[in-house]
Amino acid sequence: MYNDFVCFGNYCICFFFCIFLLVFCLFFFFQAEDGIRDFCLSRGLGDVYKRQLVCNGNAGDMSNRLYRQNNDFNELKRVSSGIARQISQFDTKLDLTLAHPQSKTFVFPIEYDPDIDVLKARLADSQAKLEQAVAYDERKWLISEINGFQRKIKAGHVKMDLEATILRMQDLEIVVLPCELVSAFGRQIKKSSQAKVCFVWGYANGQNGYVVEASEFGGGHDGISTQLPKGKAEEFVALIIQHLFNN
């Protein structure tokens, strides 16, 4: 009897704690939603977030690392404010009809064994370069490569399923992916879409890193960090295009 009472009490505590946590998160979520649109709290970005929809899904090979002026908060503020100003100046308008919603989901399986000897050789090469590197960005890049090689060596056998979803609402098509494509793949998909507007929405249905062209496997962060073997990205993108809706 006593044990049943204690067990019931523990359940009650857990239940009320979950309710409290839910209310707490919702409260601060809406506070943040209000705050980010405040002129001061948004660091001068104004009400950009009221008017714009930003999705990241096909910019895996785009970075400002080659032309950034510094590595501090002032540089972050300069770049983010500049991007926001450019976004606020967009004046192109396109009326879309959102009707007749359709969706389809498919899976692209990946399974292979990476060449551990090749990875170890490339790891040793990057470690040797790091010992000689002085510049901040160069060292950061090499450290990122080293971490990528070590992660792949430790993981060994790779087996995963990339689940993708295609949403179509007449003039709008949204390609939902559990990864981030490089820009060339994004342009290929959008060009193949028969909708007026096509979005590639990445990092959804899970997160499986970058999807890069076969040419990127000769070096560079993206080719090292991707979990897909060389050539599989092209197959994945071809399957995505095959599943796009026809008018």
What DSSP letter does each residue of 63-85 carry, written as one string? Answer: -STTT-S-SSHHHHHHHHHHHHH
pLDDT at residue number 137: 79
CA-based nearest residue to 116, from 154, 75, 147, 168: 154
- Report, as an integer, the average pLDDT of 58-72: 76
Q: How confident is the model at residue 58 (pLDDT cuts 50, 70, 90)?
A: confident
Q: What is the pLDDT of residue 45?
A: 46
Q: Does residue 110 surpass a pLDDT of 90?
A: yes
Q: What pLDDT, in 10s, does the model give residues 218-241?
A: 666 777 888 899 999 999 999 999
Nearest CA-CA partner of 56 in 231, 170, 186, 152: 186
- The answer to whether 58 and 184 are in contact (CB under 8 A) is no
Which H/E stretch holds residue 198? strand 197-201
List, in sequence order, every residue forming a beta bridge with 199; answer none if it has no partner.
174
Q: Containing H/E element for 190?
A: helix 183-192
> Using an 8 Å Cβ cutoff, are 130 and 146 in contact?
yes
pLDDT in tens, 188-221: 999 999 999 999 998 887 877 889 888 888 666 7
Residue 24's SS3 state is: helix
pLDDT score of 154: 94
Mapping DSSP to helix (H, G, I), strand (E, B) and coil, where does residue 57 land? coil
Contacts 24+ apart (CB under 8 A), 221-229: 221/141, 221/144, 221/145, 221/148, 222/60, 222/61, 222/182, 224/122, 224/145, 224/148, 224/149, 224/152, 225/144, 225/148, 227/110, 227/158, 227/160, 228/110, 229/110, 229/112, 229/114, 229/158
Question: Residue 36 above 60 pLDDT?
Answer: no
pLDDT band at 112 (very low <50, low <70, confident <90, very high): very high
Q: Is the dihedral of CA 69, 71, 77, 81 positive or negative?
A: positive
- Is a pLDDT exceeding 90 seen at residue 167? yes
pLDDT bin (cut points 50, 70, 90) of residue 68 is: confident
CB atoms within 10 A of CB 93: 5
Q: Is the pLDDT of residue 117 over 90?
A: yes
Q: Is the pTM of this model over 0.75?
A: no
Using the structure block, give the residue that is written with the tokens 């660091």: 43
Distance between CA atoms of 77 and 81, rounded to whole angstroms? 6
Maximum average pLDDT range among 35-44, 55-64, 119-128: 119-128
Whether the pLDDT of residue 66 is over 80: the answer is no
Average pLDDT (74-98) is: 88
Q: What integer pLDDT is reported at residue 225 of this predicted model?
A: 82
Mean pLDDT of the chain: 79
* Predicted local confidence at residue 84, as pLDDT: 86
Tokens standing for residue 96: 């879309």
